Structure 1
Amino acid sequence: MFSNKDKNSQKPKAMERNVIAKNTTIVGDIKSDGDFRIDGTLEGTLKTNGRVIIGVDGFIKGNVDATNAEIEGKFSGQLQVSQTLTIKGTANISGDVIIGKLSIEPGATFNATCAMKGALKELNSNEQKKRSEKTA
């Protein structure tokens, strides 16, 4: 009937949404569990377990490590997205990109080296299956 569990531990965590507004420049490193929308400028490192959205007027120069990302503006640096990177037609990306999945709209500028981590895992597991079938 009564529980010794903390009541706060049963509530689902709400994801925070952080916004860097237009005409705002931040220089430095940011770490968060919440989502980010960048409509201004960020020079530095952004690490989040959430989603990063770079708006049409947004610009990031530096490193980004996120679960998902959607880019409409400019990015220059190293971008690591563990799941899906969506690049809109207005985007301009340069640097190094490491992703799980990639979606690019026509009109986007994508001048970057790109590595897909998810595809490598699938290929490796398929090769191991084939090898085990040959030995069986």
Structure 2
Amino acid sequence: MFNNSSKSKGDGKSMLPSSTINIIGSGTSIQGDIVCEGDIRIDGQVNGLVSTKAKIVVGPEGDITGDLVCQSADIMGKVTGIIKVDELLFLKGNALVKGDVYTNHFEMEPTAKFNGRCYMEDEKPTETHKNGKSVAKKEAEQPQA
């Protein structure tokens, strides 16, 4: 059934692709977290955390319910959750993002939709009150005695 022609000559290692690109194809559904080192493209459905030290691409049919953590991301599908990107987050086409975003650079095409808050600072947001003002802002706005 399997023959030796699938092995490279001399070193005994198989000729599997050495690429670090991971693909979750259309029609695939994953329940759980994905943690990888290389780039990942998601065209299927994922319910859970997706984390990589490289790039995440969510294709037009991709649907993620969970957080994304990565170096950079191109989103064309749907993401519901918190997105943390070290460099560039790019929402393309008919992307739909529902959740807060933490990134250094943010780009968005006019057809994309984003419902959430965007933080482009190194600091985490302070606690907010019902009136929407942060604790730090509220204290700073009070008159000096």
TM-score bracket for this pair, using the shorter chain length: 0.7 to 0.9
User: Which region of structure 1 is more displaced relative to structure 2, 14-23 or 69-78?
Assistant: 14-23
| 1:81 pairs with one of 70, 81, 85 | 85
Shift of 1:15: 5.6
1:80–1:99 contact (8 Å) kept in structure 2: yes
The number of equivalent residue pairs is 107
Aligned residue type for 2:29: T
Q: How far, CA to CA, are the matches of 2:93 and 2:23 in structure 1? A: 22
TM-score between the two structures when normalised by the length of structure 1: 0.74
Mapped pair 1:33 → 2:33 = no
Query: What does residue range 110-129 of structure 1 map to in structure 2 within 5 Å?
Result: 110-117=114-121
Q: Cα RMSD between the aligned structures?
A: 1.8
Larger Rg, first or second structure (1 or 2): 2
Query: SS of 2:33's equivalent?
Result: strand
Shift of 1:31: 1.0
Greater strand proportion: 1
Match of 2:46 in 1: 42
Change over 3 Å in CA distance of 1:67–1:15 after alignment to 2: farther
Shift of 1:107: 1.0
**% same residue:** 37
Query: SS of 1:19's equivalent?
Result: strand
| 1:20 pairs with one of 17, 24, 27 | 24
- Gaps of at least 5 residues in structure 2 are 1-17, 125-145
Aligned residue type for 2:93: G
Match of 1:102 in 2: 106
Q: How far, CA to CA, are the matches of 1:16 and 1:117 in structure 2? A: 30
1:15–1:35 contact (8 Å) kept in structure 2: no
1:15–1:33 contact (8 Å) kept in structure 2: no
The runs of at least 4 aligned residues of structure 1 exceeding 6 Å deviation read none
Shift of 1:117: 2.6
- Gaps of at least 5 residues in structure 1 are 1-13, 121-136
Greater helix proportion: 1
TM-score between the two structures when normalised by the length of structure 2: 0.70
